[in-house]
């Protein structure tokens, strides 16, 4: 069922190998977060004692909710304009349900892995699970899709900034010219070496999103009209790509589930978090679409005009997005730096980042553990000065900014590349989000979990279970192909002179 060549890195933090795992377990009473690890039962299963309560469940709910937070409410009204009122409401509901089923399937696959693997590494990523369940090729494909979508979200942020600033200053410059404006600052921020140093930027982004969301809802309610349109069915694949991108958070589901005080409640907490997110998106999407009708812009802010307060809100959102950019860039930069340093082209153990803090909190915890391990090695090196250089000596020490030439160059090139893509593909923020949703997010959200679940449980499922996995797999493949094709055709149509939404 599983790939037996398990990487030793899954056990690295405990200083042991796969075969010596149980020999190295600490006595009963060792605490890991809110769980107490007990010795394995007679059948070999890892036992945990939950130490959390209702407050912990609220924290778990908020962590899962943050995994799905993003700029989705900014373009969901435009997505509705590509589906129509009835098709849009039904479509958001169905896609949210598919997202829920796929997340649950992925967690079931993780929980079916050897118990010693789960106990040894609570930070198992989507790619880690794919490798252990289906082999290294599956890990490369999953991590490649994660890196692609993170790169796409970074590019989308630049497009959002360019369009919003252009709208603010009402300049004769083309939109693409404003992509270049924040580049010097973004190149500088991208050089920050420590994930932990990016934490304040995430908090600022969350605050700006909250302000923006409240402003959008209040503005729409104050200017409410009922003038929905009925778009052609041929535009529905664009809706599919955008809503899939809006609800894509599967790259963070496993780390968040592993940190829960009571993982057995995962299904219910996920259902509640996705229900809340779906309600928010459907409310903003429907209100914005029926109010602005066929004039709904790809960024809802572009429909909001006429006061200094609105201008201030746009500025706050731009600042929040500006400082969120380096958070989303982390997996892309880590992969490229690892490749240049001699590793594989697609990095292992990729943790996706969303605009909420869920992803960065996971990376911060990993970074703290790595620093603790380095401190132990440094202390050992002091006692044995004739041995190899210490970790901090090998990496040039712990500095605020990248200090290796290849790190500086990689970060510079990634930022510049996102700007180039934004210039050539950024005439419509909504269409670009649809492209990312169709090209990468649909595969991650539907195709990957359905395949892994079928691969692991095919001998245990009945015909209905196999049919469910097959249907979700096909939806992911067909949605990716059709959504990408239709969106690319629409982008080319804009290049030929069609008005940008």
Could you tell me the CATH number of the domain that includes residue 212? 1.20.1740
Residue 35 has pLDDT above 50, yes or no: no
Q: Is the pLDDT of residue 369 over 70?
A: no
- How far apart CA 356 and CA 65 sit, in angstroms, is 8
One-letter-per-residue 3-state SS of 361-419: HHHHHHHHHHHHHHHHHHHHHHHCCCCCCCHHHHCCCCCCECCCHHHHHHHHHHHHHHH
Contact in structure between 325 and 337 (CB atoms under 8 Å): no
φ and ψ of 425, to 5 deg: -125, 15
165 SS3 class: helix
Domain that holds residue 84: 53-371+404-496
pLDDT per position as a tens digit, 42-52: 444 444 444 44
Using 50, 70 and 90 to split pLDDT, how confident is the model at 389? low
Compute the 3-state secondary structure of the chain and give helix, strand, coil in percent, each to the nearest 5.
Answer: 70, 0, 25
Q: Looking at the predicted structure, is the pLDDT value of residue 24 above 60?
A: no
pTM of the model: 0.79
DSSP secondary structure of 44-84: ---EEEE---HHHHHHHHHHHHHTT-STHHHHHHHHHHTT-
Examine residue 431 and state whether it is found in any structural domain, yes or no.
yes
Confidence class of residue 259 from pLDDT cuts 50, 70 and 90? confident
Question: Does the pLDDT of residue 393 top 80, yes or no?
Answer: no
pLDDT band for position 292 (cuts 50, 70, 90): very high
Angle at 456 between CA 451 and CA 457, to 5 degrees: 100
Contact 125, 10 (CB under 8 A): no
Please give the residue that has the higher pLDDT: either 148 or 398.
148
pLDDT at 22: 32
Angstrom distances, CA of residue 140 to CA of 75, 128, 130, 410, 479: 31, 10, 9, 20, 22
Number of compact structural domains in the chain: 1
* Weakest mean pLDDT among 23-32, 33-42, 358-367: 23-32
Q: In Å, what is the CA distance from 389 to each residue of 180, 302, 374, 381, 483?
A: 42, 55, 11, 8, 51
361 domain-assigned: yes
Nearest CA to 438 out of 392, 372, 492, 483 is that of 483
What 3-state class would DSSP assign to 309? Answer: helix
Within-domain flag for 28:
no
Q: Please, what sign has the CA dihedral across residues 425, 429, 435, 437?
A: positive
- Residue 283, pLDDT score: 92
pLDDT at 447: 96
**Positive or negative CA dihedral for 343, 348, 349, 354?**
positive
- With respect to residue 136, please indicate whether it lies within any of the assigned structural domains: yes
Q: How confident is the model at residue 11 (pLDDT cuts 50, 70, 90)?
A: very low
Which comes out higher in pLDDT, residue 326 or 148? 148
Judge whether residue 360 has pLDDT over 50: no
SS3 180: coil
pLDDT greater than 70 at residue 347: no
388 or 427, which is more confident: 427
Task: Look at 427 and 380; give whichever has higher pLDDT.
Answer: 427
Q: Please answer whether residues 285 and 77 qualify as being in contact, where contact means their C-beta atoms are separated by less than 8 angstroms.
A: yes
Q: Mean pLDDT, the chain, as a whole number? A: 79
Q: Is the pLDDT of residue 29 over 50?
A: no
Q: Where are the beta strands (DSSP E) in 66-201?
A: none
Residue 482 within any structural domain of the chain? yes
pLDDT of residue 497: 64
As a whole number, mean pLDDT of residues 189-206 equals 71
Report if residue 447 sits inside a domain: yes
Question: Is residue 22 domain-resident?
Answer: no
Model pLDDT, residue 480: 95
Let me know if residue 390 belongs to a domain. Answer: no
């Amino acid at each position: 069922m599983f790939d037996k060549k398990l990487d030793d890195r899954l056990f690295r933090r405990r200083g042991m190998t796969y075969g010596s795992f149980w020999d190295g377990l600490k006595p009963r009473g060792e605490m890991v977060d809110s769980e107490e690890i007990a010795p394995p039962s007679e059948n070999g299963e890892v036992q945990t004692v939950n130490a959390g309560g209702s407050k912990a469940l609220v924290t778990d709910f908020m962590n899962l909710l943050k995994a799905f937070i993003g700029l989705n409410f900014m373009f969901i009204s435009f997505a509705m304009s590509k589906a129509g009122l009835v098709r849009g409401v039904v479509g958001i509901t169905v896609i949210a349900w598919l997202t829920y089923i796929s997340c649950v399937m992925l967690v079931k696959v993780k929980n079916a892995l050897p118990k010693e693997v789960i106990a040894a590494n609570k930070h198992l990523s989507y790619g880690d699970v794919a490798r252990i369940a289906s082999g290294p090729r599956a890990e490369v494909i999953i991590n490649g899709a994660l890196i692609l979508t993170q790169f796409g979200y970074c590019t989308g942020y630049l497009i959002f900034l360019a369009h919003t600033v252009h709208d603010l200053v009402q300049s004769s410059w083309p939109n693409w010219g404003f992509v270049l404006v924040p580049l010097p600052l973004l190149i500088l921020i991208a050089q920050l070496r420590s994930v932990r140093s990016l934490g304040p930027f995430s908090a600022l982004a969350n605050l700006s999103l909250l302000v923006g969301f409240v402003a959008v809802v209040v503005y729409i309610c104050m200017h409410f009209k009922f003038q929905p349109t009925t778009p052609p069915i041929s535009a529905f694949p664009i809706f599919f790509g955008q809503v899939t991108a809006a609800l894509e958070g599967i790259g963070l589901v496993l780390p968040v589930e592993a940190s829960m005080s009571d993982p057995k409640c995962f299904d219910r907490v996920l259902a509640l978090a996705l229900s809340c997110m779906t309600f928010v998106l459907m409310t903003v999407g429907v209100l914005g679409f029926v109010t602005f009708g066929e004039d709904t812009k790809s960024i809802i802010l572009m429909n909001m005009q006429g006061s200094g307060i609105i201008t201030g809100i746009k500025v706050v959102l731009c600042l929040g997005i500006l400082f969120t950019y380096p958070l989303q860039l982390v997996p892309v930069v880590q992969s490229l730096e690892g490749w240049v340093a001699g590793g594989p082209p697609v990095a292992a153990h990729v943790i996706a980042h969303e605009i909420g803090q869920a992803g960065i909190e996971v990376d911060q915890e990993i970074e703290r553990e790595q620093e603790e391990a380095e401190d132990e090695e440094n202390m050992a090196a002091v006692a044995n000065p004739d041995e190899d250089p210490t970790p901090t000596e090998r990496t040039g020490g712990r500095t605020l900014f990248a200090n290796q030439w290849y790190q500086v160059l990689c970060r510079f090139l990634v930022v510049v590349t996102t700007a180039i893509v934004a210039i050539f593909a950024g005439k419509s923020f909504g269409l670009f989000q649809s492209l990312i949703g169709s090209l990468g997010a649909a595969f991650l959200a539907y195709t990957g979990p359905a395949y892994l679940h079928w691969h692991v449980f095919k001998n245990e499922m009945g015909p209905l279970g196999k049919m469910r996995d097959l249907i979700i797999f096909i939806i992911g493949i067909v949605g990716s192909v059709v959504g990408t094709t239709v969106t690319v055709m629409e982008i080319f149509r804009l290049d030929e002179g069609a008005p940008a939404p």
